[in-house]
Structures are given as C-alpha cells and as structure tokens.
Amino acid sequence: MTRTIAERLDDPASARAAGRRKMDWAEAHMPILAALRESFAADEPLAGERIAMAMHVEAKTAVLVELLAVGGAEVAIAGCNPLSTQDDVSAALHAVDGVTSYASHGVDTDEYYDAIEAVVGVDPTITVDDGADMVTHIHDEHPELIPQLKGGCEETTTGVHRLRSMADDGALDYPMFAVNDTPMKTLFDNVHGTGESALANIAMTTNLSVAGKTVVVAGYGYCGRGVAKKAAGMNADVIVTEVDPRRALEAHMEGYDVMPMREAASEGDIFVTTTGNRDVVTRADFERMADGALLANAGHFDVEINLEDLDEMAVSTREVRDGVQEYELSDGRRLNVLAEGRLVNLAGPLSMGHPVEVMDQSFGVQAVCARELAANHADYDPGVHDVPDRLDREVAEVKLDAEDIAIDDLSDEQREYMDSWDHGT
C-alpha cells in the first residue's frame, strides 16, 4: 500500500513546521488566492467534492490545495514530477484538514504511478492535473470513475496537447478546462514565470553568468518567448530554433537569430528547451557543442534532451556540482546537464518554481475553474474546453484590485458601437 508523506518521513513534525513557513510566505504574496479564500470559506462552493490532483508539490501549489479544502473539498495529491516535490511542503499539506498527500521527492517510476493510483482512491469528482498523467491514468486504469467525474483542469502546454490528442481520437470521456491556454495563465505564467525561473535557476545551480553568453532557446511558444526575452534582458545573445515557420518569423522580427539546432549547437553556451516534444537536442547536436556547454529543459518531461544519446557518447560522467551532471566525451569536451534533464525551474536542488505572484494568477484560474465545474458541470460535454472568459476576467479584476490599479470602463455608446455591425464611415 502506498504510504502518505507523513509515513515516509523520519521527523514529520519538523518537516511540517518548515513546510508551513514556506506556505505562509507564499500565501502572503498571493492576493488573488487570499481574496478567493474569503469567498470559498464563506460559501464552500466545493462542499461534497472530491478532488484528485497531480501537481508540482511546493509552497505555491500548497496554497491552492489548502484553498480547495477550505472551499469544502476533500483533496488528495501526488507529484507530477519525481524531483519537484518538496517533502516539507508535502508534509505541511498532509496536516491540513481535508488533504491527503502522497507526494514525495525522488521517487522512482513505479512509486510515482503508485502515488497517482493512491490519489485516485479519493473516488474523485474533479481532477486537477499538470501534464495529464492523472487524466490518462483514470482513462486507462479506472474508466469506471468517468461517469461521476464532473470535469478537470489542466495546467500545462504539454498536458493540453495530450488532452487535445485524446479528444481528437475520441478518447477523452469527461470535460477538461485548458487552463494553460487562458490569457491569465499563458501571458504571465508561461512568458514571465518560465522565463524568469528557468534562467534564475540555471544561474543559481551553476553560479555562472548569463550575460555575455549565447543562449539557444529551442521553441518559440509562450515559454520560449519568455526565456528569450529574459535572456536578452540579461545581456545574452539569443538564438531561437523552431519548426513552425510563423513562430520562426516572429522570433526573427523580434530581433533574435533563427537557425536549425544543428547550426545553433556550435554557437551556444547555454541551451534551454521549451518545446514539450522529444529529441529536441540529440547526438548530432552534442557532437558540435563547445566544451562546457550547459543544457537545461524548461519544457516538461525529461525527453527534450536525449540523455540516452549523450550517455552512449560519454566516456565518463560525474556530478560536478549539485544538480549538474557532467558528461565527458572521447575528445575531452564536457557537456553539463542540469536537473537530470527535468524541469530546471522545479527539479534542481535550489529550484522553487515560478515567482509567487505569477502562480497566484495561474492558481486563481485553477480555483475558479474547479468552482465552475462543481456548480455548472452539466454545461460542459466531454472534451477540451477553453476557460470561460468571465472567469479569466474575474481573476484579472481581483489582481488589479490587489495592486490598486484602476482602468477605464466602456460607455454605453462605446459598447453599442463595438457590438454593432452597421456602423460605417
């Protein structure tokens, strides 16, 4: 039987106290979740709901989980990455009324999926996922649960891609909100969150400067745009690699060099993958890289940098610094992989994920989407759904209020003008 985090730790009380401090710090800087907490505590919109979650279990996620529990839900959570769980935060979460945490740092593949299986034991009515592992597990192993599932929320680009593929194949049997794709997530979490946290964690893990180096960004979606923008702001030269001609043109028009990875491989000092796809950097690229190159993944799963190819090429490997694995090649060149090729902003030894304020927005969307599913699930058929614009705007308005920022309102005449088709010159 899978053990909870409290059963895994030697000193759960100390871990709980340390995790609680992290949660309290995050909560103090998450005004959206604070505002929602007031309404959730008063109205308990999730009363009677059972929520199964697979997420990066760290302080900001924990504030969301606690909010869902305050709203009346019974919540069970597992990690969505073997290296991103912070055990002290997981222990603090497990101590929250209504929450059971099976998330533990450093688990192997079997333990990872055992934890997801244990979470399914909450007999869920709603799922909240980061990467779609929970959703696919339910469809593959527990289809009997699908009729009771009101819906779910997906946090990431990779997870939404998987869900859309399932929907295209007619294999997605309950409604899912594409939280990743809504403006209050995409424009901030993906761009500013990924950009800042990826580069910050590369710098902290290596203690090396970004300024003056050539940073190769693989992929120019929202995450890639963020990494490129922040790297340029840190005085790096930036090269973008792409497979989509429109995104490549966009990167070109933004002033970045654009070229295939094979060419960029010999130019780069730091390589950051942001595609969500596999085999973005492979043997042919490793063969062209300079001695000392740094390789990091800010996409999702640990398949973007082909570590099997690199391991086969290496004559020796060693951990040269916490979170940095050096691969020495036969010609003496050394290539350095950060965080085992997993998400560098979450899986490294110093990683803390995206900035708190950014995740406040993303998790605010998650919370209102869970509330929407509890109240109005009959309005949504199986498949992938955009987050209703009224929910996205609600979260934005709460954020503006918290920042004491006022904006204009449309007059009745302006609204009528914008809604009409018969106004001419």
pTM for the full predicted model:
0.88
Q: Which CATH architecture has domain 191-347?
A: 3-Layer(aba) Sandwich (3.40)
Per-residue confidence (pLDDT) for residue 425, from 0 to 100: 62
* CATH number attached to the domain at 5-185+353-402: 3.40.50.1480
Q: Which residues are annotated as a binding site for substrate?
A: 130, 155, 185, 189
Q: What φ, ψ does residue 416 adopt, rounded to 5°?
A: -65, -40
Q: Which residues are annotated as a binding site for NAD(+)?
A: 156-158, 190, 219-226, 242, 277, 298-300, 345, 354
d(CA 246, CA 244): 6
d(CA 96, CA 62): 10
What are the 10-residue block averages of pLDDT along the chain, 425 residues in total?
A: 85 94 97 96 98 96 98 97 92 96 94 96 96 96 97 94 97 97 92 95 96 98 96 98 98 98 98 96 98 95 96 98 97 97 90 91 97 98 97 96 94 92 75
DSSP 257-296: EE--HHHHTTT-SEEEE-SS-S-SB-HHHHTTPPTT-EEE
Per-residue confidence (pLDDT) for residue 350, from 0 to 100: 86
Which among 388, 67, 206, 183 is positioned nearest to 77, based on CA atoms? 67
End-to-end CA distance of the chain: 72
d(CA 44, CA 46): 5
| Beta strands 324-329; 314-321: pairing state | antiparallel
Strand order in the sheet with 324-329: 257-258, 237-241, 214-218, 270-273, 294-297, 334-338, 324-329, 314-321
d(CA 126, CA 53): 9
Q: Decide: 121 and 137 in contact? Cβ < 8 Å.
A: no
List alpha helices for 131-221, DSSP H: 133-141, 157-168, 183-185, 194-206
Q: Which pLDDT tens digit goes with each residue over 304-353?
A: 999 999 999 999 999 999 999 999 999 999 999 999 999 999 888 888 88
Q: Which residues are annotated as a binding site?
A: 130, 155-158, 185, 189-190, 219-226, 242, 277, 298-300, 345, 354
d(CA 65, CA 278): 31
Domains 5-185+353-402 and 191-347 in one fold: yes
| Beta strands 257-258; 270-273: pairing state | unpaired
- Which residue ranges make up each domain of the chain? 5-185+353-402, 191-347
d(CA 189, CA 197): 10
Number of H helices, E strands in the chain: 19, 15
Q: Decide: 267 and 216 in contact? Cβ < 8 Å.
A: yes
DSSP 43-110: H-TTTT-EEEEEE--SHHHHHHHHHHHHTT-EEEEEESSTTT--HHHHHHHHTSTTEEE---TT--HH
- Cβ–Cβ contacts within 10 Å for residue 287, how many? 15
Q: Which amino acid is at 258?
A: V
CB proximity list for 388: less than 8 A, separation 6 or greater: 372
